[in-house]
Amino acid sequence: MQVPDKHSSHIVVLDADRAILAYIRDVLADRFSVSLFTDAAELCRSLSESPAPDLLLMDWQIGEDEGEKNALSLLAKVRASKPSLPIIMLACSAELKEVVAATRMGAADIILKPFRKSDLDLAVQQCLEALGKRPAADEATEIPLDGNTSFVRSCERMREIESQCKLVAGTDIPVLVLGESGTGKEVAARLIHKMSSRSQRAFLKVNCVAMPADLLESELFGYEQGAFTGAVKPKPGKFEVCNNGTIFLDEIGEMPPALQAKLLQVLQDGSFSRLGSRSSVRVDVRVIAATNIDIKEAIANKTFREDLYYRLNGFTVKMPPLRERPEEIPVLAQHFMRKAAARYDCDPLPISPALTHALTGHAWPGNLRELENTIKRYLVLANEQAIVDELSALRSATLPAPNVEAAGGNANLKHFVRTVTGNVESAAIAQSLEGRGWNRKATASDLQISYKSLLYKIKRYNLSPPEKQHSFDQA
Ligand SMILES: Nc1ncnc2c1ncn2[C@@H]1O[C@H](COP(=O)(O)OP(=O)(O)OP(=O)(O)O)[C@@H](O)[C@H]1O
Ligand SMILES: [Mg+2]
């Protein structure tokens, strides 16, 4: 089944169901050249004999008897003959193992059947834009999210994170976003929501550490009249309010154990009961959770339920710290400058090569949040030199001479870099703590990281206040 080649982008579609092929052709043929195949062998022959198309849409269930195995071996064949061909999978349901397998084989997206014209249009458009066929105005580095927030990415690693978010957005699998403080975990959660079919519904964030257990329970699950003193009328919780939307459970590692059990039940069958009620409520809510604590350690310490971890960990997105993607610093600095200028209603200041150099030389223990605050400070002070001096003072005060011995005498570069970076960070933190007489709140504020993150780092680097001096020392 061939449609004459009359447009610039060529899309090939493989599906055993002719009705689906006809539908896809009706949606796409007025803007693209479309070739349709019902048979995998015929598709492979055509791919090996002709130049690569721009995009392949392929049914996951092709050759139903063998199911996934068949789709995977076909994907491998296609990859062998056309290594960089973007592929979108069409699937009836996307189980985690399918998403993982498809990602491994480099699928760019999954569209769930039955799909609407708009789902197909969006996936095709995003895929072709990524190819550089039709870049939208800001597409090169920035995806606008809600309000003033955007997802900026300009390096390969962050584009991979974007692809993972896009893939998992097409499913309802719970997602666990991990990463140090300020690396963009919330931004990633908003991106997943925005790219999902729930994007027109609510995205609600609940901070699990900001309130006591009782309050958190009523916040999440609601209560009936008389459930406790002061419950004068019934109130639905966030899970009910957020029905058909996405709930973002921030700092999940700090959730009290009693609530972890209740959350586990919601993840298992979407049901729970309000406080003071015996009947259960059923909801359809997509859960995204985030934490910056070492969750495996929390499981070992029995502060986090292992079964809940496995439920939440349907798909993990790991946000890299800024020091591992320094090439993004100039683009992010420009973005934060535009964002701050819009917020304070003033003109953005230029970011000179000298400032860029100072910014890229800093280790950013507070990650993107710290960079954003530095840019805000620059805009307010309007004194570039002050910022450059501040950053270079921090650098010279904290940068130890690289020493392979100190890094364990290990020639493995990754290990060496990790050790040296850790040394720099721990030296910077120790110095700030000492400068502040071990006042942790003040130090966290100086370093522009959260209090909790500072406590975590103190523990991680095994830092402790100097022993109190004995009286005879003072003589
Ligand atoms: N990729 C990104 N593009 C643009 N801005 C970003 C990006 N990632 C993070 N930011 C900005 O950096 C700041 C910190 O991001 P975010 O709140 O998502 O981090 P976090 O990992 O949730 O931090 P914490 O662990 O402290 O809660 C926010 O102002 C956010 O808008
Ligand atoms: Mg956060």
Residue range 11-26, pLDDT digits in tens: 999 999 999 999 999 9
User: Which of 158, 162, 181, 186 to mutate for ligand 1's pocket (most ligand atoms within 8 Å of CB)?
Assistant: 186
pLDDT of res. 409: 44
CB 307 within 8 A of CB 257: no
3-class DSSP state for residue 326?
A: helix
Q: How far apart are CA 237 and CA 335, in angstroms?
A: 36
Please give the Cα distance from 197 to 244 (Å, whole number).
9
Ligand number with the minimum distance to the CA of 453: 1
At 433-464, the pLDDT tens digits run 887 788 888 888 878 788 888 888 888 888 88
Segment of 29-43, 132-146, 371-385, 389-403 carrying the highest mean pLDDT: 371-385
87-91 and 55-59 strand pairing? parallel
Q: Which residue has the higher pLDDT, 52 or 289?
A: 289
Between residues 468 and 247, which one has the greater pLDDT? 247
Q: What pLDDT sits at residue 137?
A: 38
pLDDT of 198 over the 80 cut: yes
In the numeric block, which tokens belong to residue 60?
Answer: 């996951």
Per-state percent for the chain, helix, strand, coil, to nearest 5: 50, 15, 40
Tell me the CA–centroid distance for residue 260 and ligand 1, in Å: 25
What per-residue confidence (pLDDT) applies to 96?
A: 66
> What does the buried/exposed string (b/e) look like for 19-30 if buried means 16 or more CB atoms within 10 Å of the residue's CB?
ebbebbbebbbe
Tell me the three-class secondary structure of 405-455, residue by residue.
Answer: CCCCCCCCHHHHHHHHHHHHHHHHHHHHHHHCCCCHHHHHHHHCCCHHHHH
Banded model confidence at residue 291, pLDDT cuts 50, 70, 90: very high
- Find the mean pLDDT for residues 246-271: 92
Distance of alpha carbon 50 from alpha carbon 45, whole angstroms = 9
- For CA atoms 323, 324, 326, 328, give the dihedral sign: negative
How far apart CA 208 and CA 312 sit, in angstroms, is 15
Instruction: Given CATH 3.40.50.150, say whether it is the number of domain 10-136.
Output: no
Among 383, 363, 378, 381, smallest CA distance to 333 is for: 378
Q: pTM value?
A: 0.63
pLDDT for position 237:
93
pLDDT at 135: 40
Mean pLDDT (whole number) for 355-374: 93
- Domain ranges across the chain: 10-136, 156-318, 331-460
Q: What does the pLDDT average to over 142-148?
A: 85
- Gap from CA of 223 to ligand 1 centroid (Å): 32
Does the beta carbon of 54 sit less than 6 angstroms from any atom of ligand 1? no
34: left (phi over 0), alpha (psi -120 to 50) or beta: beta
Output DSSP code: residue 31. T
Ligand 1 site, residue 368, Cβ cutoff 6 A: yes
Ligand 1 lined by 432 (C-beta under 6 Å): no
pLDDT digits (tens, 9 = 90+) for 338-362: 999 999 999 899 988 889 888 988 9
User: How much is the CA Rg of the chain, to the nearest whole Å?
Assistant: 26
**Beta bridge partners of residue 206, listed in sequence order:** 249
φ, ψ (nearest 5 deg) of residue 56: -120, 125
pLDDT at 402 over 70: no
1 has pLDDT over 60 = no
Nearest atom of ligand 1 to the alpha carbon of 250: 27
- For residues 96-105, give the mean pLDDT: 69
Residue 465 confidence (pLDDT): 80
Alpha-carbon gap, residue 55 to 34, rounded angstroms: 10
pLDDT level of residue 407 (50, 70, 90 thresholds): very low
Could you tell me if the CB of 190 is within 6 A of ligand 1?
Answer: no
Residue 375 has pLDDT above 90, yes or no: yes
Q: Identify the three-state secondary structure at position 255.
A: coil
pLDDT at 464: 83
Q: Is 185 in the pocket of ligand 1 (CB under 6 A)?
A: yes
How open is the CA angle 370-374-380, to the nearest 5 degrees?
A: 145
* Mean pLDDT of the residues in the chain: 83
Which value, to the nearest 10 degrees, does the dihedral of the CA atoms of residues 399, 402, 403, 404 take? 140
369 lines ligand 1 (CB under 6 A): yes
Report the C-alpha gap between 140 and 128 in whole angstroms.
Answer: 13
* % of residues, the chain, pLDDT over 70: 84
Per-residue pLDDT, 152: 94
DSSP letters for 114-167: S--HHHHHHHHHHHHHHTTSS--TTTTTEEE-STT-EEE--SHHHHHHHHHHHH
Q: From residue 469, how far is each of 79, 136, 232, 474 by CA, in Å?
A: 67, 64, 57, 7
Distance 370 CA to ligand 1 centre (A): 10
Q: Is 366 close to ligand 1, i.e. is its CB under 6 Å away?
A: no
Q: How far apart are CA 43 and CA 21, in angstroms?
A: 14
CB 149 less than 6 A from any atom of ligand 1? yes
10-136 and 156-318: same fold?
Answer: yes
**If you average pLDDT over residues 106-120, what whole number do you get?**
85
Q: Which pLDDT band holds residue 404 (cuts at 50, 70, 90)? A: very low
**450 touches ligand 1 (CB under 6 Å):** yes
253 lines ligand 1 (CB under 6 A): no
Q: Which atom of ligand 1 is nearest to the CA of 450?
A: 26
> From the CA of 144, how far away is ligand 2's center (Å)?
18
Question: What integer pLDDT is reported at residue 423 of this predicted model?
Answer: 67
> pLDDT value at position 132?
63
Is any ligand 1 atom within 6 A of the Cβ of residue 337?
A: no
CB atoms within 10 A of CB 404: 12
| Mean pLDDT value across residues 222-243 | 92
Could you tell me the pLDDT band of residue 133, with boundaries at 50, 70 and 90?
Answer: low
> In CATH, what number does 156-318 get?
3.40.50.300
Top-confidence residue, 10 or 139: 10
Decide if pLDDT at 250 tops 70: yes
In what helix (H) or strand (E) does residue 214 lie, and over which residues does it extend? helix 213-221
Atom of ligand 1 nearest to the CA of 368: 12
Residue 297 in contact with residue 336, Cβ under 8 Å? no
Residue with the smallest CA separation from ligand 1 atom 28 is 369
Ligand 1 centroid, distance to 367 Cα (angstroms): 8
Distance of CA 2 to the CA centre of its chain: 40
**Which DSSP string do the residues of 176-199 spell out, in sequence order?**
EEE-STTSSHHHHHHHHHHHSTTT
Structure tokens at 46: 């055509």
Cis peptide, bond prior to residue 465, ω within 30 of zero = no
To test the pocket of ligand 1, the residue of 178, 368, 370, 457 to mutate (highest count of ligand atoms within 8 Å of its CB) is: 368
Residue closest by Cα to atom 23 of ligand 1: 182
With a 6 A CB cut-off, is 339 part of the ligand 1 pocket?
no
Would the CB of 456 count as within 6 Å of ligand 1? no
Q: Read off the pLDDT band of 281 (50, 70, 90).
A: very high
Task: Tell me which of 112-121, 299-308, 421-430 is least confident.
Answer: 421-430
